[in-house]
A and B are shown apart, each in its own frame.
Chain A
């Protein structure tokens, strides 16, 4: 049976999580439709249509879909569901908000944050902050799934799927968008960056975080991340948090600076290809999973690292 993938986007462009979730969708069934719901988001529909493997794009546009409120997204998807064997969305904060609502309206379970598709009804997912992996088989007629996108390669582009405009139900009217405060940065996006430089409590202040972490990230064209302790202390905003309850990242290179390596932090970065830890405590748990460790005071090491990188760049 066909599969529906709900696209993640900001009405202007498609989020990098969508082509990755596409690979999970294609592993379930080759007949994948993509739902692009939003307001004035036709350009996103075009981008989705270009994802290789998309059989069709459903474009749902209405003012009340602009902010992807859970009440409206779930109400939109319910009447579509009967045609599909599975509905997937990337496990972003948007997908995690509306997908369980949709599942309950359809009276089925949700399978959260899958990391592998074993068959059309069997999936792998992490539990206990990734300290165990569970293989689960669903008996529901329709599978509602969120996808941990770090576990999947992005689908290619080059396709040209037909785009079909679909009817949008009247607003549910239960909730209303009241504004947002989005972080703007010229850095690559944390969730999909090739290199991530993260700072922890040890940075000590917002000023130090900016002074010591930012230049290194700039040099490496890296996204900036942080531990919960650094976010709680106000060094950076909440969207920088990596971990069990923040973002899950799996870059080529993850540099953890002044981060102890609590299991909740490891949950968000331990699938990175190469991990570097800089910490003054040689017993810090982060060293147990780091490919390269450097023991010492970050305030001394980071300027040295910066100048070594400059030398290496020649």
Chain B
């Protein structure tokens, strides 16, 4: 079985981003970039399937500017077998990404596609669901557990009320939540080995699908600021303030 893992290069989760003063967007100059944390979990899950003998080949795919290749190399260093880099300098929306990924799925015929449930830059939480729709495949989103058995995937999902399990026909789409696994770090020898793994490159335009954005960003602003309040001396003062000043208890 082949597993396809789409990954995204995003601003590192530890970076506190700055909004440009003119409202034109977020300042990404000289900001540390990393693989989207949910995608690391997706890569890890695929590797575990291969280690368990369920998967034979893991293909990592990413779409973006030239530097995106570094992110694919990270996935290769973690253990993916080969990479596909779709070069594209424009910002894509999830629908455009899903359309490109559909082409890759059709060319590679994986039995399973594992994606991160959301990218921590645009927080959209859409791509996996959209890809499932375009392929007519079932989807197991926000997965905290994945079991494959007899042509079916059993996915435990983190939902608002607790956990839900769905049973999906394969091929299917799974999107990872935080507790699916703890991703490994790439070791130095594996980082060296990853440099020799195959990484195919193709411009997005060559896929011949419509990836034009549907949304126009009119402006990007700082959220309403919150000021630090006061430090109270003890529990008694806290209760007094909450009662008489804030009026919330």
A and B are interacting partners: yes
A contacts, CB < 8 Å to B: 10, 67, 69-71, 74, 92-94, 96-105, 107-113, 122, 126-140, 173-183, 191, 195, 220, 228, 231-232, 237-239, 244-245, 247, 252-253, 263-264, 270, 273-276, 282, 287-295, 301, 304-305, 307-309, 311-312
When the two chains form their complex, are residues A132 and B220 in contact, meaning their CB atoms are under 8 A apart?
Answer: yes
Say which residue of B169, B226, B239, B249 sits within 8 Å of A195 (CB atoms).
Answer: B249
The answer to whether A274 and B165 touch across the interface, beta carbons within 8 angstroms, is: no
Q: Does B16 contact A (CB under 8 A)?
A: yes
Which residues of the other chain, B, contact A10 by a CB distance below 8 angstroms? Answer: 161
B1: interface (CB < 8 Å): no
Whether B160 contacts A112 by the Cβ 8 Å rule is no
Interchain CA distance A308-B242 in the complex, whole Å:
12
Contact with A along B1-34 (1 / 0, CB 8 A): 0000000000101001101000000100000000
Contact between B242 and A232, CB atoms less than 8 A apart: no
Task: Tell me the dominant secondary structure on chain A's binding face.
Answer: mixed
Check B125–A100 contact: CB distance below 8 A.
yes
The answer to whether A112 touches B139, judged by C-beta atoms less than 8 angstroms apart, is no
* Inter-chain contacts of A99 with B (CB < 8 A): 129
State whether B228 touches A137 (Cβ < 8 A).
no
Q: Residue on A with the closest CB to B236?
A: A308
Q: Which of A71, A104, A129, A308 has the most CB of B within 10 A?
A: A104
The answer to whether the Cβ of B223 comes within 8 Å of any Cβ in the partner chain is: yes
Q: Which residues, 191 to 249 on B, are CB-close (under 8 Å) to A?
A: 213-223, 226, 228-232, 234-236, 238-243, 246, 248-249
Chain A CB within 8 A of B138 CB: yes
Report Cα–Cα, A312/B241, bound state, in Å.
Answer: 12
Q: A69 contacts which chain B residues (CB < 8 A)?
A: 166
Q: Other CB < 8 Å A-B pairs besides A103-B95, A176-B168, A270-B226, 11 of them?
A: A92-B160, A100-B125, A132-B223, A173-B169, A174-B136, A181-B164, A182-B162, A232-B178, A232-B179, A245-B118, A252-B248
CB distance from A134 to the nearest CB of B (A): 5
Say yes or no: is B121 at the interface (Cβ < 8 Å to chain A). Answer: yes
Known: A93-B142, A108-B95, A174-B168. A304 touches B229 (CB 8 A): no
Answer yes or no: B124 CB below 8 A from chain A CBs: yes
User: Do residues B215 and A139 form an inter-chain contact, with CB atoms below 8 A?
Assistant: yes
Q: Give bound CA distance, A134 to B213, whole Å.
A: 15
Query: Is there an interface contact between B229 and A138, defined as CB atoms closer than 8 Å?
Result: no
A138 touches B215 (CB 8 A): yes
| Cross-chain pairs A/B with CB under 8 angstroms, 5 sampled | A139-B214, A175-B138, A245-B177, A308-B239, A309-B239
- B51 contacts the other chain (CB 8 A): no
CB distance A128 to B178 under 8 Å? no
A101-B123 in contact given A195-B248, A305-B239, A312-B239 (Cβ < 8 Å): no
Docked Cα-Cα span, A289 to B120, in Å, equals: 22
**In the bound complex, CA of A232 to CA of B144 (Å):** 11
Contact A93 B159 (CB under 8 A): yes
Selected from A100, A105, A290, the residue in CB contact (under 8 A) with B228 is: A290
Tally of contact residues, B, Cβ under 8 A: 82
Q: Is B163 an interface residue (CB 8 A)?
A: yes
Cβ B134 vs Cβ A274 within 8 A? no
Tell whether, in the assembled complex, residue B160 and residue A294 are in contact, meaning their CB atoms are under 8 Å apart. Answer: no
Is B133's CB under 8 angstroms from A174's CB? no
B167 at the interface (CB under 8 A from A): yes
Choice from B19, B133, B161 contacting A132 with Cβ under 8 Å: B19
Interface pair B120/A129, CB less than 8 Å apart:
yes
Instruction: Decide yes or no: A263 and B16 within 8 Å by CB, A104-B95, A126-B123, A126-B223 being known contacts.
Output: yes
B56 to chain A, nearest CB (A): 24
A233 to B52, CA, bound (A): 26
Docked-complex contact A305 and B235, CB < 8 angstroms: yes
Q: Please determine whether B130 and A100 come into contact, CB atoms closer than 8 angstroms.
A: yes
Given known contacts A220-B249, A238-B144, A291-B246, A74 and B133 CB-to-CB distance under 8 angstroms: yes
Interface status of B45 (Cβ within 8 A of chain A): no
**Using Cβ atoms and an 8 Å threshold, which residues of chain A touch B217?**
134-136
Instruction: Take A181-B162, A195-B249, A239-B162 as given contacts and tell me if A97 and B141 are in contact as well, using a CB distance cutoff of 8 Å.
Output: yes
Check B134–A176 contact: CB distance below 8 A. no
| Complex interface: chain B residues within 8 A of A107 (CB) | 95
Q: Is the CB of A131 within 8 A of B16?
A: yes
| CB pair B129 A289 closer than 8 Å | no
A104-B98, A109-B95, A274-B248 as given contacts; A175 in contact with B165, CB under 8 Å: no
Instruction: List A contacts of B179 (CB < 8 A).
Output: 231-232, 238
The distance from the CB of B210 to the nearest CB of chain A, in whole angstroms, is 9
- Contact bitstring B153-193, A, C-beta under 8 A = 1, else 0: 01001111111111111001000011100000000000000
| Residues of chain A with a CB closer than 8 A to B54's CB | none
Which one, B139, B177, B223, contacts A131 given CB within 8 A?
A: B223
| Contact (Cβ within 8 A) B124 A110 | yes
Between A107, A178, A295, A305, the greatest number of chain B beta carbons within 10 A of the residue's beta carbon is seen for A178
| CB atoms of B154 and A103 under 8 A apart | no
Whether B239 contacts A174 by the Cβ 8 Å rule is no
Contacts of A112 in B (CB 8 A): 123-126
Residue of A97, A112, A122 ringed by the most chain B CB atoms within 10 A:
A97
